[in-house]
Chain A
Amino acid sequence: MAVLKKRALAEYSQVVQEEACSKPLQLMKKPHLSSAVEDEHVTVNTFEKLETSEALVAYLNHIQLNLSFQTDDKVVLLRKLIDTYHHSEQSYVRLKIVCILGDFRKVPKFDVQIIINEIIKLISTETSHKVCASMICTLKKLGSLLSSDSPVLGKIIAIGTKLLNNSNHLVKCHCLSLLGGLRSLNNLQGENVKLICKFTKSQDPRVRTAAYDALLQLHDRGQKLELCIYSDVCSALQDDNENVRQSAMRIIWVLSHTYPESCVVIPGCQDEVHLVDDAFAKICQAIGDLSVNVRTLAAELLGSMVNVNPHFLEQTLDKKLMSDMRRKRSAHERHWETVTSGEWASGARWADDKPRENLDAESVSLIHSGACGAFVHGLEDEFMEVRSASLDSLCQLALSNPRFATLSLDFLVDMFNDEIEEVRLKAIDCMTKISQLIVLREDQLEIILGVLEDSNVEIREGLHRMLGACRLSTKACLKLCVQALLDNLKRYSQDKRSIWRCLQLLGPRHPDLTLLLVPELLTVHPFFDMPEADVEDPSYVCVLLLVFNAAQFCPQILSLFEEHIRRHYRYLRDTISNFVPHLQLTGVEEMEGQIEFETNTNYFLQNVMSRLNQPISTNQIKVWDAACHDLIRLAQIDSSLAHGVELLATQLECHILIAKVMNSPAWIDSSSLNVQDGDVVKNLIDQLQRRSLRLQYMFSNLSTEEMLLIQSTRLQAMAIQLVYIVRASNTSALALSDHFVSRVEALKGYGNLPSFAGAIVKEIARVDDTKPGVLSRILLPILQAHIYVAPFCLPAKAFKLSADILEPSGESDNPQKFLAGFVLGVVLDAEIQGLAHSEYLRVRVKYPDLNAQLIIPQESHLKMIKHYPKNDSSENIISVPDHRLRTSVLVSHQVWTESSHIELSLVLDVTDPEVPSALKRWRGFSEDSFIIELCKPVRVLVSPKPIKRGI
């Protein structure tokens, strides 16, 4: 009741009083700017016509945008601008003019010294601080273009030094940045460092920050900062302004890298420590700073201080605990003790963390304990930025210090329980990185394995990767681990592949531990025959994978295999060959044939290559055709050569098509022949385009020569298309020829071009005019000269882009229902190998009515999977990263009468780089000629239901 009454009063008792409008509204016509501004051919005379300063600024804006296009004499324009500068009273007009003066540096072949001299003249009379600051800024930009011994540079610096005494902070800041960024490295340098150092004492925090930043700039440009500033910079860590603290901390970091070994006296006592250790302690203290930004920076910087004394390093994880003045051990320590004493913590006793020895009140220092507990604090920070930066640093330091790695383990494990997922994921990643250096104890493993139940796929898969890379201490550990993974599989069956991979890596790392577990895992009994397990059961496959992969390095395991396990081995070796290694099983005769076979493929390949590189014969196309067939078959047989061979085959196909087109009489002249022949040629050219695009985008990890060869082939294909369009059709080829020329230009920089590309580059450089007609006249003879020229070689390291859709599997018969016109999210999970251009990746959805949609996957859904060395021998690491796309594809359609299949596939859409924008609407290209399929489409059954009306 009371509330109601209150509200009623509140709403109705308001009296709105409008202020009497003192000024009557006025209709005004704004001066029309556009007439002058929009005029395409502005002349410098326009300045006189502009009366208001607004119009002037608008016009200046226009000039600035078109500066590099304008055809007027630049010097005249400059004069005009400076005249205007002198006449204008408004500071913002002058500011604009200074901006434009700065932009003159982008005008090609314009002498910046003229402008510098002009600005130096102007700056002495300028009264506005803002304009002044902007002038200094412009001078800095222009000065950076000068050579370091130019006398003008000296002038600029003199101006900068003089204006340091300006009363405005902005001017001072810009001057400092000028001094920091523009120093020619000569003997004056020391003087300037001193000058800048003086300004770190300025009363304005902004100037102080600028001074420290200038010092940092100097350092970046190779000037060695002097050690004597160290103590001053350290005191700046107590500055009131957080920006100053940040910049000062950066300088301390720089000094610690420059003079790690010099000694610093600790105030209050006579001890000396190395500067790097002292700096480390100082930065550690900043982890308890007031400002988040400072804390984050401190946490970031710590990571790169790897050469710090291990004693200090270990302190960062130590926070002397005490309770009621008595020393207390941390939970980690307590845990460790129970483990080593062979007794498990019951955790049931109250106060079992009872403190032990008494502490001397004098000896406990609460704050100034240097690096003490820095990471403990950093990892417990309120903000995830700090926590995640601390994790990174912790990991980096641990990588360089194995003992520290072992110590940090407990803290990393603790972070698995962070409230923010990104941090949890990062903790797991860090753990994976340092897993080479540590051996997991049983109690630690138990905690880690608990995380396998997490409902987040990313976390689980991260953990699988981590387990695959870690080292376990005992047999019980391994058993625990396998058991947990099997439980995980039972709970989340979609993790199958990830768990298999984990076990595949786990086996070879612990062959001896696995040996001890084999009878238990495979249920082998000395006397009884146990029932044979079902080889289709994923969890049984898990166990087999572990054992098989371990057996590679521990032949004793082989002798334990029973007949049905050998049978299963052969089956799995056939079905999931990339998970099962080759084993030397007696009684399995595959062995000998294998080696023989491998030598055969190499021999065969050499055979094909030599045939290819023979002198050109009359029926060259047939020779190529045959070789192409052979190569394609070869790629299917031998996986170790597949990628390179496939590249070669595709290249060959392109050249076969080129030869075919060139040999057909119809391709330059459509009028004389019948329509049918014309269609054949058109078809061939279309095919050639697709092939050459595949060639260009599907392969990565190539050497420069191989890449240029591919480019040359692609150029040939484009040339053929261009000539064809010019000669045999009546459509405009203007945009196409421009595009072609730009492609040729891009190749210019390389020496040692393949013969075709080389010839083209040479010819194009000779002509000025690039009209299509001229171009085609140049191209035709070159093309004809290069029909059969193609030096083939096998790019051994080439890597082919391929994708594998794991989910949806395409096997489900249950249609996914959704309301027609609304959206259905279909979960798509795919692995992509060798993706070099992730920006072109698309998901294609094909509906039964042949409509196709290309969907750009969200950037965050495409994740790079880092590969950690599989074994200690790091030979077989592929340098191309794997990608994982996990996204939900949005599908929508109108009502269907029954459910039907849609097709999902992954494609590359190279329309953007390949089609010049002027041609986007041209219909000469068929829609999907710039789409490269990466995998077979997967079919998903969906059924859009009509919306039920009137519920």
Chain B
Amino acid sequence: MTDIKVTPLGAGQDVGRSCILLQMGGKNIMLDCGMHMGYNDERRFPDFSYIADGNLTESLDCVIISHFHLDHCGALPFMTEMVGYNGPIYMTHPTKAIAPILLEDMRKVAVERKGETNFFTSAHIKDCMKKVIAVTLHQTVQVDSEIEIKAYYAGHVLGAAMFHVKVGNQSVVYTGDYNMTPDRHLGAAWIDKCRPNILISESTYATTIRDSKRCRERDFLKKVHDCVDRGGKVLIPVFALGRAQELCILLETYWERMNLKAPIYFAVGLTEKANNYYKMFITWTNQKIRKTFVQRNMFEFKHIRPFDKSYADTPGPMVVFATPGMLHAGLSLQLFKKWAPNENNMLIMPGYCVSGTVGAKVLSGAKKVEIENRQVIEVKMSVQYMSFSAHADAKGIMQLIQYCEPQNVLLVHGEGVKMEFLKQKIQQEYGIDCYMPANGESAYIPCKPVVPVDVSLSLLKKEMALYDTVGAPDPKRPCRMHGVLVMKDNVLKLMEPEQAFGELGLNRHSIRFTSCIQLRLPGTAIRAMDQIQLILNSQNTNYPVKPSDEGLLNLESVSIKMETTDKEDRKSMMISWALQDEDLATWIMSSLRQVIV
């Protein structure tokens, strides 16, 4: 029962289609629900039939979505509306705002362009989003009486979050995608020392340590600036959201600083809508944008204007951001066709290109590119590759592990071979277990059972005061606590004895032991007592022996009494002690025996 079971339905030793099932403390939680962009058949969605015959509402307690990228939320409408799930779904506010835009765009491409059927509809997306509960950073949300979730900032894209899921005493952190180095519009991921049982981390760049970002930025800016200075046109194909905004901010501030006049255009479309959300969620951005927000919202671009198709033939320098990012269709391809033959122009690819696309061909250095309908284009424009990626590198992942100090790490969202290396490193440097299950494979992570006990506050305070009065804190000195362990309604409680007896309606009994030793000591009883006190005090310093008024020696609960017998030099010593001081009494007796008897 104490094992935590993690089963990736997607993203297990694989990138794309993130969907992880988490079972702990008798609860089932789904982390992310993404689709695979590479497939067009049912393989693009996670295999929901794996979960309890497809009856999702009953078998899942909640679904958590980390951010709006489609490989993390793309299958959500399919799951809720077509497979059927009515339970709670959690995501952050920006994610809830932007995800439907992306889903809708994808649906259009799939249904209207590719003519697919049996795909979810706009209404499905809307209905799905109605089931979503939005959460704020660092807000603790109680899903039911046992599950508790909390979101942490993850960088990566606007609204990306890591989630700390807690069931009973067990907890798991799921990172989603995150970035440990800040960029132009977002800060770095941050988490506190929450010490979860498992950290489920992405590992896209498991084997890479990246160079400083500033170099790349400077290169990028310089190249754009040079091209614009010689009157050329710069084409930057981008995916609509995320990196595009970062590059916009970068160029915008540079234009401002350098007082440049050449126009920058942004192809209209879903970006416009998304930009509105970027303007709204300023609190999710980095220090600079948050600070300048009072004077000006950085996303209200001064130099960047919407693009109109007629601008493509306007003479003079310009910079254009156009979708899609891999130059395989749409506006970016059209502009590429127009501008490629001029050597003054420039193409900057800010991201990765799937092989086979025009983008990949151009990047690999092809001077003549064939596009649809057998048209051949001569590429004379200069082609640049600039990597602006927002995943944590190996050092970043290690840093996150250091931050939150998990007991186990589980790697997802990366290639298996690379994970192997990182796994080894984690085990070596932190000495903790690391797992990397493949899709459909379950990892059972054993957890030490923890038995929580409630301690009454008054008892705790009393014992602490006692501990404090003894002397300076010393980590080696044991701190004992005296109380009564009460088990009631399946809950353990540690209470003060009086309180416990009061609640149980019992009278308190205490056991005292008394023992009598015959000693050979000359002199009166009082002198003998003094002698014993001296002996005891010389042997221990922690517990001073105090004589009481009735002629007794007291030491904690131990009391010693001396009686004279018939014989002159024989005395009988009575020692009486309560149960808890058994050890002490034994020690006194043995030490007295050694010295006197």
Q: A: which residues have CB within 8 A of B?
A: 164-167, 195, 198-199, 201-203, 240, 288, 290, 319-325, 328, 330-332, 347-351, 353, 361, 364-368, 376, 379-384, 411, 414-415, 417-420, 447, 450, 453-456, 491
Contacts and interface: CB of A to CB of B under 8 A. Distances in A.
Contacts of B214: 379-380, 414-415, 417-418
A455 B471 contact: no
A414 B207 contact: no
Given A328-B211, A367-B395, 15 more contacts: A167-B468, A167-B469, A201-B475, A290-B403, A330-B215, A332-B215, A349-B385, A366-B394, A380-B213, A382-B286, A382-B287, A417-B218, A418-B214, A419-B184, A447-B218
A415 B222 CA distance: 15
A366 B395 contact: yes
Contacts of A417: 214, 217-218, 221
10 contacts: A167-B469, A201-B473, A319-B212, A321-B209, A331-B219, A347-B219, A350-B363, A350-B385, A366-B394, A366-B425
A330 B212 contact: yes
A380 B257 contact: no
Contact of A290 (B192, B363, B425, B461): B192
Contacts of A376: 212
A309 B216 CA distance: 31
A164 B187 CA distance: 43
Interface string B342-384: 0000000000000000000001110000000000000000111
A888 to B, nearest CB: 16
Nearest to A413: B218
B57 interface: no
B418 interface: yes
A351 to B, nearest CB: 7
A348 B473 contact: no
A368 B211 CA distance: 19
Contacts of B425: 364, 366
Contacts of B256: 455
A288 B470 CA distance: 39
A383 B287 contact: yes
B257 A456 contact: yes
Contacts of A290: 190, 192-193, 403
Interface string B466-501: 001111111100000000000000000000000000
B342 to A, nearest CB: 15
Residue of A349, A366, A414, A447 most packed against chain B (CB within 10 A): A366
A321 B210 contact: yes
A574 to B, nearest CB: 36
Contacts of B403: 290
B253 interface: yes
A347 to B, nearest CB: 6
Contacts of A382: 182, 187-188, 286-287
B227 to A, nearest CB: 12
B209 A324 contact: no
What DSSP secondary structure best describes chain B's contact surface? helix
A383 B213 CA distance: 15
A353 B214 CA distance: 16
A interface, over-half SS = loop
Nearest to A373: B395
Nearest to A367: B398
Contacts of B218: 414, 417, 447
Given A350-B385, A366-B395, A380 B212 contact: yes
B225 interface: yes
Best-buried of B182, B208, B364, B382 by chain A (most CB within 10 Å):
B208
B429 A368 contact: yes
Query: What's the interface size class on B, roughly?
Result: 35 or more
A166 B424 CA distance: 49
Contacts of B468: 165-167
A325 B184 CA distance: 28
B327 to A, nearest CB: 14
B288 interface: yes
A323 B384 contact: no
Name which of A164, A331, A347, A382 has the most chain B CB atoms within 10 A of its CB.
A382
Given A380-B213, A384-B287, A454 B257 contact: yes
A366 B225 contact: no
A328 to B, nearest CB: 8
Nearest to B218: A417
Contact of A453 (B259, B288, B418): B259
B382 A367 contact: no
B500 to A, nearest CB: 23
Contacts of A320: 209
In the A-B complex, list the 5 residue pairs whose CB atoms are closest, starting with the nearest: A198-B472, A382-B182, A414-B214, A455-B259, A331-B215
B201 to A, nearest CB: 14
B329 interface: no
A325 B209 contact: no
Contacts of A330: 211-212, 215
B181 interface: yes
A347 B348 CA distance: 11
B399 A367 contact: yes
B223 interface: yes
A367 B402 contact: yes
A415 B182 CA distance: 14
Contact of B209 (A288, A319, A348): A319
B473 A202 contact: yes
Contact of B193 (A240, A288, A380, A415): A240
Contacts of A365: 429
A923 B464 CA distance: 71
Nearest to A172: B468
Contacts of B429: 365-368
